[in-house]
Each structure stands twice: as C-alpha cells, then as structure tokens.
Structure 1
Amino acid sequence: MLQNNKKQKSLNRRFLLILGGAAFICFLVLGSMLIFWDRFGLSQTQRFAFGGVIIIYGIIRFARLLRKEKNEEE
C-alpha cells in the first residue's frame, strides 16, 4: 500500500485560505463594479484607474497567500 506522508492543513490555515479566496472575489467584484457601473460620480478615467488598482491589489493579495501556503508546506 502507498502511504501519503503529506501533512494535512490545520483548521486555522484552511480557514485563512478560504477567507483569502473570499476576499479576492470581493476585491474582484468591487473593482468590476467601479469600472462598469457609472453611478459612482467619478469620471470614466478615474473609475478605470481606481477599479484597476483594486483588482490588481486583490490579485497581489491572493498570490501572496498562495505563495505563503506553498512555503509553509516545505
């Protein structure tokens, strides 16, 4: 029989991964809303810039979370 020697993630780490994924989705939705919804009282250029910054911030946070999880497994 093959044995799997990988450690199982703790409940705390699993919760933080799920919470980080939810935060990523929220940032993605918020940035998309800013870009495509024109009722915010901002000009089109400001909406694209601010929405893009929020989406990029969400991507960076999620990438750091995944990189942190990979480093902790080693």
Structure 2
Amino acid sequence: MIDFNFFKQKSPQQRFLFILGLVMFLFYIILGASLIFWKEFPINEEVISRKYRILLGLLLMVYAVIRFYRLINQKDN
C-alpha cells in the first residue's frame, strides 16, 4: 500500500526527482510498447529484425517496472 503522507513530507528536490522518475518510467513504457506494437517503426528491418524489436521492447518494459518499484519503495536516508 502506498503511504501518501510519505510523499507530502518530501523536500522540493525530492519531489522533483520523484516526478522525473515517473516521467522516465512512462518514457520507457511508451518506448517499449512502440517497439512492440508499431508495425512500421522508423528503424530499417535490416538493422534490427522484428523478433529483436519485440525482445528489446519487453526488456525496456521490465526495466521500467523495476525502476518504478525502486522509486516507490525508496527510503529517506
């Protein structure tokens, strides 16, 4: 469960870094999904085949979930 009081007690710098982390999470999710679902992705098929584009997209999405998990569960030092 997410403790919303934890987010209210953050300094402006910590809030900025939290929002930046959320933006990067969304960036990785969108990039991974576009690699998987965009049929005519502007990368030449000779450079990277469809199979490897799907694998890279999945890898980016898993990385985004790991980053999000670490962002939510970080503790103040």
With structure 2 as the length reference, what TM-score do the two structures score?
A: 0.74
Helix, strand or coil: the match of 2:73? Answer: helix
Question: Bigger radius of gyration, 1 or 2?
Answer: 1
Kindly provide the amino acid, as one letter, of the partner of residue 54 in structure 1: L
Bigger relative CO (Cα 8 Å, ≥ 6 apart): 2
Q: Which has the higher helix share?
A: 1
The offset of 1:33, in angstroms, is 0.7
Is there any run of 5+ residues in structure 2 with no aligned partner, and where? 1-5
Q: How many residues align?
A: 66
The offset of 1:45, in angstroms, is 1.5
Partner of 2:31: 30
The answer to whether structure 1 residue 53 and structure 2 residue 59 are counterparts is yes
RMSD: 2.0
| Percentage of pairs with the same residue | 39
